[in-house]
Structures are given as structure tokens and as C-alpha cells.
Structure 1
């Protein structure tokens, strides 16, 4: 087993839910790299990272280091890498004989994709999905998730979800945001951003979408709505990448 992959568990079937860790899981599966998942509850992430020497991924508002997952340990090289895109860049470099997620010299362009996707499409989503995610976590992680997210929003998570006309308006904003991304896909003439070729961008989008699918459930009104938008673009994307959704 070459790679140890650190992820955050849940009470959901298959355990995996986090969009940021799904980005790496998709890439590991797409490349066919042997790995094993080690599950780390939210309140244990910082101590776990410090113990292993895993670098922080950002800074908190008070300037102290912030430790997040995903992270990996390559048992062959001894490397510990944190944050999804640096991990993917490491995997590309270290396993050159596996399928590339930066095909046709697109590395530079794809490095900007996640920011463009989140800012362009996902901002209205978080007020809906974060409160729905909280009860899907194990008790210790649920308490941490609730406490930290409520500090960010300044109110209980139950009050974060917009209701009535405001809810309809915000949900429509999310649909419109995905509509903008759909125009990017439409230019390729295929199911993926590069046409018939899978790349980092597709696995990135799918990671965010599978979060919604597993938290709300495949038969939920929310997921059925999203899967049908833009001519069924997003449901089809998840279906086309199903072979890379294995949780090892």
C-alpha cells in the first residue's frame, strides 16, 4: 500500500462525504494508485497533523495555523502532503505512468479552476448544505462542525437555511451559477470539460456534487432538482465518473 489517505468520517454509507477530500479520492481512483483510508474526526485533525508533521493549509483569523484534510502520506517516499491541489500535483509528479488529470498541458489553467467554480457557482449553496451536513457526522465531529460554523454565521445552523421566498430566490441563484459552468462545458462538445477526456476540473466538480448527493440522498428533492438542471448535465457527470467513486 503506497498512499495513506486521511479523510473525515461520517454516519453515511461509505463514510466519505467531504468535497475537499473527495477531490483527492477521485484522483487516486482515476489514477489507479493503491491507497488506504485512515479516518480522522474533526477535533482530532490538528493534533494528528502536528504529530505526523503535516503542514497547515492556511491561517485562522487570529493568525494561528489552520490544519485541514485531505492529507496523504506516501509510505514509499516518506512525504506528507496536505491540501487537495498540492496533493494532486504531487501525485501527478510521483506517479507519471498513471492517467494524467492535467492532460494536453492544461496544468496552469486547471490550477485556477476550483476558485473559479466555487466563486462562480457555489456561494449560494453553502447556506443550504452546511446545516444538512452537520447531523450526518459522528457526535464529536458534529459538535465541532456546529460550533465552528455557527461562529462563522453568527447564528444557529437551523437559522442559516433561507426560508420561503428567500429560499426560492437563493436556490435559483445556485441554479444560475451552475448554469454559467454549464456554458463552459457546452463549448467542449462532450460530457467533460475537455470533451471526451477526463481532467482535474471534472473530478473537482464531481467532488462538490457528490457531497450534495450523499448528504441529501439520491432520492431527495434537492438532488433530483440539481441532477436535472442544464439538461441533466450534473447527474450525467456523476454517472460518467461512477467507476472512480470507490471508497477504499
Structure 2
């Protein structure tokens, strides 16, 4: 029997710990594939040291030109491979563990990548609010790191990302409008439960990751879930069999 893959995720104060949309994409991918894994929780300030220790590739570049390291990362003891970035991890899982569900049905990789870009564009107006909310569900060391780095990126305080009142209402309404396009795409999937009808794929890891982040952190989830005929609440419910936190 294969040894479980080590999956590195970011903890929180939530009961289930998992919260991040990007690591949720990998968690869904692992659960969809049915590959044994175990989670190791890593606070934000410790990610870079961990990545360097296990030989994880960087996922970007800092402002000073040095490499940056982010989660998710997986460490596969069965192959000795360490993989960073949720999309690359999904590709690796399909290539290395071809049994079970296929994350990328033939010819779908570019379409799934385009789907994610369109989804992020649709909900872009509510992402500042989501970042602000997420700051408050982190453990102290991660909360401090998250606040400092995000405030530096945005050039303002977390509390100013999407202040309550007219600005937040406008952001929320724009997000609903943006998701209407995604709702239209899914309306053409033949009435199935998932992005590709009744065929589950990595597209569901992507959509599920973003929606689960909102569900777990945002007190307005009930309103969000009701948008577009209740599509988003129903969709997340349909993904529950693949939402285990192991």
C-alpha cells in the first residue's frame, strides 16, 4: 500500500482548521482522486523555511527579486517528489496516480485554466473583503504575517480593504453580477452536479475551493449561497463527499 502523501496547509482558528482557497483546491483534488494523504499544518511565517528544507520549488518572486514560497505543497514519499502550486499538484496527481477519478479529462487543461481565470474575474470585487475577513481567523503568528504582507501589497490597512457600508455593498453586488456569467456557463452542463455535468474534475476543486473559503469565513454565506437560484449552496453541498479534512 502506498504511503500517504504529506499535504501542507495553513491552520486557522476554525473548527476544521482548513480555510484557504488555494489549499482547498489541492484538498479537493486529493479527495477526488482518492489518494491517501495526511495534512501537516504550517503557519505563514514558517512556509519559506519548510519549502527550502524539503526542496519545494518557489511559486513566484518577491519585490526584491528573491524567490517566494506559498502553500499548497505536497511531499510524496512514494516517489520522492515535492510539488508546489495547486494546478501543478493536480497535474502530478493525475500523472502519478492514474486510477480513480481523472482531474483533467483529455483536452480540458486549457479550458479548466480559463475557467479559473473567469471565476476569479467574476468574484474579484469581493476578494478584498475575503482577505480582510481571513486575517481574523488566523493564529497569532500567521495573522501578523498576513496583515503585514497584505497591507504592503494593497497600500492600506486591512480594515480599509472593503469597509462596511456603501463600499462593501457595492463590492458584494458587483460580485453577484460577475458570478452571473459563471452561472450561465454551468447552466449549459446538462443539469449535472459538477462543472462538467456529472463528471467530477479539477474544475470542481477550483470552484469548490473558492466557494468553500467564502462559506467558512463569511457570515453572509447564506445570502451568497442563494444567488442564481441557489446554485452555489447546492453546488457546495454536492461537493461534500470530497471535502474531508484528513
Q: TM-score, normalised by structure 2?
A: 0.95
1:141 aligned residue: 142
2:210 aligned residue: 208
Describe the superposition over 1:26-73 as per-residue Cα deviations: whole angstroms up to 9, x where unpaired.
011111100010111000000110111111001122221110000001
1:111 aligned residue: 113
Matched pairs, number:
243
Larger deviation: 152-161 or 65-74?
A: 152-161
Distance 1:166 1:108, change over 3 A: closer
Match of 1:193 among 192, 195, 216: 195
Contact 1:7–1:40 at 8 Å: present in 2 too?
yes
Distance in 2, matches of 1:3 and 1:49, equals: 15
Distance in 2, matches of 1:164 and 1:41, equals: 32
1:175 aligned residue: 176
Matched, 1:98 2:96: no
Contact 2:101–2:201 at 8 Å: present in 1 too?
no
Q: CA RMSD in A?
A: 1.2
Structure 1 runs not aligned, ≥5 long: none
Match of 1:240 among 234, 238, 245: 238
Distance in 1, matches of 2:180 and 2:63, equals: 33
Distance in 2, matches of 1:157 and 1:111, equals: 29
Q: TM-score, normalised by structure 1?
A: 0.94
| Offset, 1:115 | 2.0
Distance in 2, matches of 1:57 and 1:211, equals: 21
Structure 2 runs not aligned, ≥5 long: none
Describe the superposition over 1:92-148 as per-residue Cα deviations: whole angstroms up to 9, x where unpaired.
0000112102125323322332222212x1210122111111110000000000111
| Offset, 1:202 | 1.8
